[in-house]
A and B are shown apart, each in its own frame.
Chain A
């Protein structure tokens, strides 16, 4: 538990888009999927997921439909829209560029500068 990293602002949206890009999921399923694909290394407050989901729906990146879950319960399922898929690609590229740049900056040794 203590090894979990806090999310950077804005990264939750990216993780949600990535999680549902693998298939429609309900809110709790998205949390489980994020845990699974990040090896449970990220600390996400459960409730904080929902404002993010509503925001993404409003931005037209996700669409939501009520359905029935594996547990035979009513749940709202989220999936990517075409815009959402495009946004996920762009944000992934952005993130990779940023991460590479930061990692390279932090790994420079004094004599190399």
Chain B
């Protein structure tokens, strides 16, 4: 029931936003008039009395705003007002708008590039079954490479892993029929796909 009341109230203030505003303004004006009446009775001229009353009251805009907030604010209405206000400002200074848009576009672009690189090399897990039981083997004193006979010996005497795969990255000419292009290829041992559990 409380929630319903609240909803009804919010919807009412949403559609009667200007009416609520007018009512707040009328109430504050009425206050200043009453105050001026008192000052007038104490001997001041009407104009001077009203001026004094306004000064005594303080900044009406600030209090109007606070009244609105006290009524529970009006999120939708203030959001619309903010959007209108900022689009007006942007239209008025196209140079600033362009600079802002370009800055944002560059920043977003740079972020997207960095993230896609990070995503491929660091974040995305290997796309093979049981990637966690995949290991790379290197001998520390031999650089990055093994000879093929060594690989065969290691593979045949291996008792620690299910299987052992060798690969070599190299450049090769790829003939597509019309012109030949140089491409990176990976030479692998025959058990490559079986060991990784993939269908070529």
Contacts and interface: CB of A to CB of B under 8 A. Distances in A.
B89 interface: no
Interface string A41-57: 00001111011101100
A28 B34 contact: yes
B34 A50 contact: no
Given A47-B58, A48-B58, A73 B70 contact: no
Given A51-B69, A54-B67, A55-B70, A73 B33 contact: yes
24 contacts: A26-B31, A26-B34, A27-B27, A27-B31, A28-B30, A46-B31, A46-B57, A47-B57, A47-B62, A48-B63, A50-B28, A50-B66, A51-B66, A52-B70, A54-B24, A58-B70, A58-B72, A69-B30, A69-B34, A71-B34, A73-B34, A74-B26, A76-B23, A76-B30
Interface residues of A, number: 20
Given A46-B35, A48-B58, A58 B63 contact: no
Contacts, number: 67
Contacts of B33: 71, 73
A31 to B, nearest CB: 8
B63 to A, nearest CB: 4
Interface string B53-68: 0001111101100110
B105 interface: no
A93 to B, nearest CB: 25
A45 B27 CA distance: 16
B37 to A, nearest CB: 5
Interface residues of B, number: 25
Interface string B70-84: 111000000000000
Interface of B: 9, 23-24, 26-28, 30-31, 33-35, 37, 56-60, 62-63, 66-67, 69-72
A29 to B, nearest CB: 8
Contacts of B24: 50, 54
A29 B37 CA distance: 12
B67 A50 contact: yes
Contacts of A54: 24, 67, 70-71
A43 to B, nearest CB: 12
A65 to B, nearest CB: 12
